[in-house]
A and B are shown apart, each in its own frame.
Chain A
Amino acid sequence: MKYTNPFISENPWNYSWCYSAMPLTKKRSPDGQSEEQGRYLQANSREFNTVFAYPNNTIKTSKYNILSFLPLNLFEQFQRLANAYFLALLVLQLIPQISSLTWYTTVVPLVVVLTITAVKDAIDDLKRHQNDNQVNNRPVLILKNGRVECNKWMNIHVGDIIKLQNNQPVPADILLLSSSEPGSLTYVETADLDGETNLKVKQAISVTSDMEDNMLLLSAFDGEVKCEIPNNKLDRFVGILMYKGKSYSLGHDKLILRGCIIRNTDWCYGLVIFTGPDTKLMQNSGKYTFKRTNTDHLVNVFVLWIVVLLVCMCSVLAAGHYIWELKTGYYFQDFLPWSKYVTSPAVSATLIFWSYFIILNTMVPISLYVSVEVIRLGNSCFINWDQKMYYAPKDMPAEARTTTLNEELGQITYVFSDKTGTLTQNIMIFKKCSINGVSYGNVFDRKGEKVDISEKTEKVNFSYNKLADPKFSFYDNTLVEAVKHGNQQVHLFFRSLSLCHTVMSEEKVEGELVYQAQSPDEGSLVTAARNFGFVFHSRTSETITVVEMGEPRVYQLLAILDFNAVRKRMSVIVRTPDDRVVLFCKGADTIICQLLHPSCRYLQDVTMDHLDDFATEGLRTLMVAYRELDSAFFQAWREKHSEACLSSENRERKIAIIYEEIEKDLTLLGATAIEDKLQDGVPETIATLEKAKIKIWVLTGDKQETAVNIAYACNLFEDNMDEVFIMEGQDFETIRQELRSARHKMKLDPTLESYLLTSKPKPFFRILEEVPNGNFGMVINGYSLAYALEGNLEVELIQTACLCKGVIFCRMTPLQKAQVVELVKRYKKVVTLAIGDGANDVGMIKAAHIGVGISGQEGMQAMLSSDYAISQFRYLQRLLLIHGRWSYIRMCKFFNYFFYKNFAFTLVHVWYSYFSGFSAQPVYDTWFITFYNMIYTSLPVLGLSLFDQDFNETWSLRFPELYEPGQHHLYFNKREFVKCLVHAFYSSLVLFFIPMGSVYNSVCNNGKDISDYQSFCLMVQTALLSVVTAEIALKTTYWTMLTHFFIWSSLAIYFCISFFLYSDGLCLLFPSNFQFLGVARNTLKLPQMWLTLFLTVLLCILPVIGYHFLKPLLWPIGVDKVIERIHRCMRQPQLLLIQPKQKRPTCRRSAYAFSHQHGFGALITSSKTVKSPLYAKRVFSFQK
């Protein structure tokens, strides 16, 4: 959608222009979409707004209603190429001149297929209807006739004023008018929109905020809004509010979007701007792009091949018919005169072409598509049913949300993982600290040995502190003792933690504080201070109230020197109640060390030792320091600061310099260590996936330090890696140099490189697999990536990144995440999987071949747009190595078998044509043709593709190497397809010529007919069915009772149905439809029949067995060795030696990490943020 903004210049507003322009601005485009140039609306005036025919707030995701279901669904189904093809065939069959099979051979399968699909579609749509109803009928308060009325979401119209209360979801995109909070601030949570869990602030413009909740004023409000057309940009909105003759500009900070949740705000009023499908949420949800698997594409290619082959064969057969008619048929006219419309052999041959087209169409079986759907559905059910992927704490089973992608789960080569919430739990736990050279947090037993902390370890008792957070747990009692004994350094340390932050506090119930932290790190530090007795209680723009060991103390907040990525630290300057000015600072060790006063040298060394210990354990560390300030010095500084703030040029840099002036000569207090808790089993899962040759790239919006830390913690990077390259160039040339040198180190073979670099990237250019000479890792930053993605660098980027064992992309925007996935998809012919939990992962989840969402998180966006939802990262290995691998193998076996059985089935007609004057005489009874795919062979193939397991789950997990063939498409590809063709070709020859040889010119042992057409049909079809059943029995490795049942019963069913179809009663009832009376009885008792059958099956099966026997011996592929090893282990279980786990060698590295970018700092100190009267009162009460 192109964004046009023609109206800004129309200020001041001109009504006449507006009205005259109205019919022009609103047009219906041919596709039914409204083409708005700008949106114009008036508050509280439905009459005015109806002119524009804005949609109401109903959301419709369903496709059909009761009446439209049948025609619409049929129409959609026939849009599918396969169904249309069979419809065309049906029409061909109805033409008597070319009909070589009766109509029911196509109608029966077609009807079955259409019905199954229709039922599935109906069920899906019913679910959507229910969802829509539920959403559309949610209650909302609408201002009407001066009163607030309860109504349904769907009855909201553009221009209505609605009232929202705390914790309510927002039903439409609204312009904030007023709220309960001072300055008309409204806090919203946007987790469902962008995945960020921190609160955002919206503020109404002053002219409307004055109305507060005055119903009279609100109902009389007749402001007019002119704004942009609906679009999907979440972070922009341009509009103008005209009220009382004045215009006010509106930005996106005034707009509350549908999908947000109101927090910390008792009530607010809003003017509805966008409704229903026009809301930014719906505009963003986009159309679901239907994902198809590689195998699907391959199958479609094969189907095209087959159609080409079909046309060729029909042409050859038609030519054969022409020659036959010329040489024989013409002279045979005494017995079979040509029909009136046949004037020459050429005419006859043209008709025969189509007749053969009908007969041979079974090469593209209609049941293929429906079988594939059934199998995928079944395999998806197994994923839903897997108890080992059920997460009890959240009562959350795994869910296959898309049922069409199963086999690709067995082909993944690249996994793109989000970090926060996926690899980690996004829970920060204050684990350890070092205060004044003493390390706290380790637990020792009586003998003085270090104890690992487990569930059983006794927690520290915080009962002395009424305001303590009960969820906080700490295990080292010495720290509490130090606090209780009044250790000044410890007190100062915690005081600093309770002051130096940007957390907001809320006290809903007396004594129960709730912190709204911008990042969980900060939250955990403030919570730790709270539990140890330094409770951050509340803040205003000028004060911070801390309850220190039960004593409320109010600090004057003088300045917040906010956090940013370059400074890697934040400071606050406060005036203590005893009138000292103190600067508290916390930040990265590398930075703080440089700012310390030289007198701290010794303490610094001790603390650094502690920090190293913390880092080795994978903890995230921060250093805490303070500085007492001279009042005069501070005043001088403050003036400089405000001057810098007002300067228009280089403000950022100037401020940074000012900050540096005051943040120096600090006194070290200590250091904190926070554990960023990994999800359960993440390192093990990553190790297993790596064994399966799956590459894992972490894409995170988080900072480099945090991401690298986690990468080490979850085994993605190892300390014994040869090198970890860090790409952080700020311009094109630097990044190119970095990439090239990295590549050079990994691979000392420049020949290929020069070739690749000189050749320009083409759209279908694939990068080959390369082998690096070592174990490397790579880290790249979002802004460096932005350069790398430009121009020709993306090829080099991909080449270099693919050589690494682990790659981390940090500081990524959601768009960049998707771009990286697209990049790999474009240059590598591999299957990719993206896994994430937040709305910022939606892009990559949609872009990847398979998107996996972590379910059970607060924001549902990722889950809702994913193909598979699991609740723990560790389930990924089951999903891929077991379900994925099985699905892939099953699907490959299915396709191989299905093509085989239909080729073998169809090609027999071709051989017979030579002996039947190319007259399009089928070799089988028409009923056999009708039932072959639907009944006779459907059950075993379903059994195979639902229950077969080459190795059970234990072996699959123990030998992840088994996963590799899927990545290289080894089990189903063009080669396999050709093999299938050759195999079927051979089988069809055997199936035709062996029965032919045995009946040719032969008779029964009583001289009666055996070489008649009907007996021959029965013989060939019985042989065919036995051969394909034997073939599937060979393919089946895992024989359950169901498999036995399916295979044997399908043979039994064949004989039963044959006897039934050829029975006296049925044939006498419908003599013209059932002509094979008595054939089964007469033929099946003959020894020739059974001898032929046995020989045919032997000749078809023995070569296959031989091939499978010789293949691993003569042409082994990688996985054959693994299979051989498993077989040996199965025979001798003692061979399974459990390899001892290698202990990671420790190394020292800086583990500074902090997970947020910019603080609330500016907001807190801005004068507008006066806290609510309620708040102030409470602060006041403490001051007393």
Chain B
Amino acid sequence: MQKTSQSSPSRRPDNTAYKQQQLPACRVQLTASRVLLCFFATGLSCLAMGIVLLLSAKGIQEVEINYTETCADCAALRENADNFDKECSCSIPFNIPQAMQGDVYMFYKLYGFYQNLYQYVLSRSNIQLVGTDVKHTDGCDPFATLNGTPIAPCGAIANSMFNDTIILSYNFNSSEDIKVPMLNQGIAWWTDKYVKFQNPSFNDLPSAFEGTVKPPSWSQPAYELDADTPENNGFTNDAFIVWMRTAAFPTFKKLYRRLHRTQHFTEGLPAGSYSLHITYNFPVTKFHGEKSVVLSTLTWSGGSSLFLGLAYTVTGAVTWLAFFSMMAVYVTMEKRI
């Protein structure tokens, strides 16, 4: 074959770095010294980070009162669904030996409650909750409608909302019980409270919820969740929002109240005896669950978990161990070569 003509373009490939696979590049090579140095440095920094985390976690004070067994009578009562309208409450005295300094948070903690089941997590209507259409109940099965009337808020999550009332009292001067002032707002994510959850736009809430019924397990409709603060009602109720953010694991704690630092409690919770007054509504014994109240302070790294600190410390230690053994292997093998 010969060139057909001078003008015909040559089929010579372009001489570009890309096409010739000659792009400028640096070769990353894991030399022995680099690897060993990397292990050493990592071990060091992990150990340091671990110690810092452990120290800060140590500063957290936490009290947990499990009231599943303590309020056994109420629990037994709640196991029968027919008794839903009967009130039951119990009181649990307890002692805080050391003052809890700073912000104190009150959580409720549930054991064995599966908020992460696939069908459960799906069972909600975001369109309803965002206030667009209060009667939108698609995907809320099996709590979408009640005798044909849409439920608001619909779905299994909303229906199973935690509805115990917990009141903390401080036994002041061993005679006088003071109710510890607690805030029930500012406990949910800002985005949830102001973007994701919105009430249907009407002049007043009750008319906005017209044509819907309350979830079957609820004692009062959504617009009467907080009798004290009118704006904390409907879908934008903080406790409701907190509940609607489903937990990842079957054991979880959720923020219930935070301490209002006034009067005797400006420094936090002083040491002394306290009591919890619980209106027991939420049944847990039926599915072998448990519930408790947690009072806790927090630090920069969050809750009371020691896990991160321990994990870092162990990682650091193991990395150093690996470093020394690799060093030994390297030295012996290098000699043999």
Determine the residue in chain A with the shortest Cβ distance to B127: A1071
Interface size bracket, A side: 35 or more
> B303 contacts which chain A residues (CB < 8 A)?
1001-1004, 1010
Q: Are A1077 and B258 neighbours in the complex by a CB distance under 8 Å?
A: no
**Is the CB of A933 closer than 8 A to any CB of chain B?**
no
What's the nearest-Cβ distance from chain A to residue B309, in Å? 10
> A932 contacts which chain B residues (CB < 8 A)?
none
Contact among A1067, A1078, A1102 with B319 in the assembled complex (CB-CB below 8 Å): A1102
> A1002 contacts which chain B residues (CB < 8 A)?
302-305, 307
**Is the CB of A387 closer than 8 A to any CB of chain B?**
yes
**Is the CB of A331 closer than 8 A to any CB of chain B?**
yes
What's the nearest-Cβ distance from chain B to residue A558, in Å? 42
Give residues of chain B (213-266) contacting chain A, Cβ–Cβ below 8 Å: 217, 242, 245-255, 258
Q: Which of A63-71, A393-401, A773-781 contacts B (4 or more CB under 8 A)?
A: A393-401
Q: How far is the CA of A707 from the CA of B253 in the complex (A)?
A: 85
Q: How far is the CA of A1002 from the CA of B1 in the complex (A)?
A: 77
> B12 contacts which chain A residues (CB < 8 A)?
387, 390, 392, 395, 397
**Is the CB of B144 closer than 8 A to any CB of chain A?**
no
Q: How far is the CA of A339 from the CA of B143 in the complex (A)?
A: 11
Given A998-B305, A1002-B302, residue A1113 in contact with residue B329 (CB < 8 A): yes
**Is the CB of B83 closer than 8 A to any CB of chain A?**
no
**Is the CB of A337 closer than 8 A to any CB of chain B?**
yes
Give residues of chain A (918-952) contacting chain B, Cβ–Cβ below 8 Å: 919-921, 947, 949
Q: Are B307 and A1000 neighbours in the complex by a CB distance under 8 Å?
A: yes
Q: Which of A547-555, A683-691, A1040-1048 contacts B (4 or more CB under 8 A)?
A: A1040-1048
Q: Are B191 and A339 neighbours in the complex by a CB distance under 8 Å?
A: no
Q: Are B23 and A1041 neighbours in the complex by a CB distance under 8 Å?
A: yes
Interface residues as binary, B299-336 with A (CB distance below 8 Å gives 1, 0 otherwise): 11111110110011001000100100010011001000
Given A1002-B302, A1003-B253, A1110-B329, residue A1037 in contact with residue B283 (CB < 8 A): no
What's the nearest-Cβ distance from chain A to residue B184, in Å? 13
**Is the CB of A451 closer than 8 A to any CB of chain B?**
no
**Is the CB of A1114 closer than 8 A to any CB of chain B?**
yes
Q: Are A1091 and B27 neighbours in the complex by a CB distance under 8 Å?
A: no
Interface residues as binary, A1029-1043 with B (CB distance below 8 Å gives 1, 0 otherwise): 000000011111111
Interface size bracket, B side: 35 or more
> A394 contacts which chain B residues (CB < 8 A)?
1
Interface residues as binary, A1005-1037 with B (CB distance below 8 Å gives 1, 0 otherwise): 111111111111100000000000000000011
**Is the CB of A737 closer than 8 A to any CB of chain B?**
no
Q: Are A1087 and B300 neighbours in the complex by a CB distance under 8 Å?
A: yes
**Is the CB of B109 closer than 8 A to any CB of chain A?**
yes
Q: Are A1012 and B245 neighbours in the complex by a CB distance under 8 Å?
A: yes
Q: Are A336 and B117 neighbours in the complex by a CB distance under 8 Å?
A: yes
**Is the CB of B203 closer than 8 A to any CB of chain A?**
no
> B39 contacts which chain A residues (CB < 8 A)?
1102, 1105-1106
**Is the CB of B86 closer than 8 A to any CB of chain A?**
no
Determine the residue in chain A with the shortest Cβ distance to B3: A395
> B103 contacts which chain A residues (CB < 8 A)?
1007
> B315 contacts which chain A residues (CB < 8 A)?
1095, 1098-1099
> B49 contacts which chain A residues (CB < 8 A)?
1091
Q: How far is the CA of A1082 from the CA of B25 in the complex (A)?
A: 39
Determine the residue in chain B with the shortest Cβ distance to A1067: B196
**Is the CB of A999 closer than 8 A to any CB of chain B?**
yes
Determine the residue in chain B with the shortest Cβ distance to A1077: B196
Q: How far is the CA of A1086 from the CA of B308 in the complex (A)?
A: 13
Q: Are A1113 and B330 neighbours in the complex by a CB distance under 8 Å?
A: yes
**Is the CB of A323 closer than 8 A to any CB of chain B?**
no
Q: Which of B14-22, B68-76, B93-101 contacts A (4 or more CB under 8 A)?
A: B14-22
> A1114 contacts which chain B residues (CB < 8 A)?
329, 333
Q: Are A1003 and B42 neighbours in the complex by a CB distance under 8 Å?
A: no
Interface residues as binary, B168-209 with A (CB distance below 8 Å gives 1, 0 otherwise): 000000000000000000011111100110000000000000
Q: Are B25 and A1072 neighbours in the complex by a CB distance under 8 Å?
A: no
Q: Are A395 and B10 neighbours in the complex by a CB distance under 8 Å?
A: yes
Determine the residue in chain A with the shortest Cβ distance to B253: A1001
**Is the CB of A100 closer than 8 A to any CB of chain B?**
yes
Interface residues as binary, A800-836 with B (CB distance below 8 Å gives 1, 0 otherwise): 0000000000000000000000000000000000000
**Is the CB of B139 closer than 8 A to any CB of chain A?**
yes
Q: How far is the CA of A919 from the CA of B248 in the complex (A)?
A: 13
> B283 contacts which chain A residues (CB < 8 A)?
334
> B114 contacts which chain A residues (CB < 8 A)?
328, 332, 336, 916-917, 919
Determine the residue in chain B with the shortest Cβ distance to A995: B248
> A384 contacts which chain B residues (CB < 8 A)?
13
What's the nearest-Cβ distance from chain A to residue B152, in Å? 15
> A388 contacts which chain B residues (CB < 8 A)?
20
Interface residues as binary, A897-933 with B (CB distance below 8 Å gives 1, 0 otherwise): 0000000000000000001110111000000000000
**Is the CB of A1081 closer than 8 A to any CB of chain B?**
yes
What's the nearest-Cβ distance from chain B to residue A610, in Å? 38
Q: Are B326 and A1110 neighbours in the complex by a CB distance under 8 Å?
A: yes
Q: Are B141 and A339 neighbours in the complex by a CB distance under 8 Å?
A: yes
**Is the CB of B132 closer than 8 A to any CB of chain A?**
yes
> B119 contacts which chain A residues (CB < 8 A)?
336, 339, 919
Q: How far is the CA of A294 from the CA of B248 in the complex (A)?
A: 44
Contact among B13, B117, B125 with A386 in the assembled complex (CB-CB below 8 Å): B13
Interface residues as binary, B136-174 with A (CB distance below 8 Å gives 1, 0 otherwise): 001101100000000000001001100000000000000
> B281 contacts which chain A residues (CB < 8 A)?
none
Q: How far is the CA of A1105 from the CA of B19 in the complex (A)?
A: 32
Given A328-B288, A1011-B252, A1071-B132, residue A1005 in contact with residue B302 (CB < 8 A): yes
What's the nearest-Cβ distance from chain A to residue B274, in Å? 19
Give the interface centre of A921, A1007, A1114 by most chain B CB atoms within 10 Å: A1007
Q: Are A385 and B19 neighbours in the complex by a CB distance under 8 Å?
A: yes
**Is the CB of A382 closer than 8 A to any CB of chain B?**
yes
Contact among B14, B248, B258, B288 with A331 in the assembled complex (CB-CB below 8 Å): B288
Given A915-B249, A1011-B252, A1106-B322, residue A397 in contact with residue B329 (CB < 8 A): no
Q: Are A332 and B126 neighbours in the complex by a CB distance under 8 Å?
A: no
Q: Are B188 and A1008 neighbours in the complex by a CB distance under 8 Å?
A: yes
Given A915-B250, A1013-B247, residue A1064 in contact with residue B301 (CB < 8 A): no
> B13 contacts which chain A residues (CB < 8 A)?
384-387, 390, 397
> B46 contacts which chain A residues (CB < 8 A)?
1095, 1098
Q: Are B301 and A1087 neighbours in the complex by a CB distance under 8 Å?
A: yes
**Is the CB of A1109 closer than 8 A to any CB of chain B?**
yes
> B105 contacts which chain A residues (CB < 8 A)?
1003, 1007
**Is the CB of A1127 closer than 8 A to any CB of chain B?**
yes
What's the nearest-Cβ distance from chain B to residue A327, in Å? 8
Given A1040-B25, A1088-B308, A1091-B53, residue A1003 in contact with residue B245 (CB < 8 A): no
Give residues of chain B (37-59) contacting chain A, Cβ–Cβ below 8 Å: 38-39, 42, 46, 49, 53
Q: How far is the CA of A536 from the CA of B84 in the complex (A)?
A: 122
**Is the CB of B35 closer than 8 A to any CB of chain A?**
yes
> A1099 contacts which chain B residues (CB < 8 A)?
315
**Is the CB of A182 closer than 8 A to any CB of chain B?**
no
Interface residues as binary, A185-216 with B (CB distance below 8 Å gives 1, 0 otherwise): 00000000000000000000000000000000
Give residues of chain B (270-288) contacting chain A, Cβ–Cβ below 8 Å: 283, 286-288
**Is the CB of A595 closer than 8 A to any CB of chain B?**
no
What's the nearest-Cβ distance from chain B to residue A51, in Å? 44
Determine the residue in chain B with the shortest Cβ distance to A1124: B337
Contact among A331, A335, A921, A947 with B116 in the assembled complex (CB-CB below 8 Å): A921
Cross-chain pairs A/B with CB under 8 angstroms, 5 sampled: A997-B308, A1007-B105, A1008-B188, A1078-B190, A1087-B302
Q: Which 7 A-B pairs have the closest CB atoms?
A: A1078-B191, A1071-B126, A1016-B248, A385-B19, A1002-B303, A997-B307, A1007-B105
- A residues with CB within 8 A of B: 100, 328, 331-332, 334-337, 339, 355, 382, 384-388, 390, 392, 394-397, 856, 886, 915-917, 919-921, 947, 949, 953, 994, 996-1017, 1036-1043, 1064, 1067-1068, 1071-1072, 1075, 1077-1078, 1081-1082, 1086-1088, 1091-1092, 1095, 1098-1099, 1102, 1105-1106, 1108-1110, 1113-1114, 1127
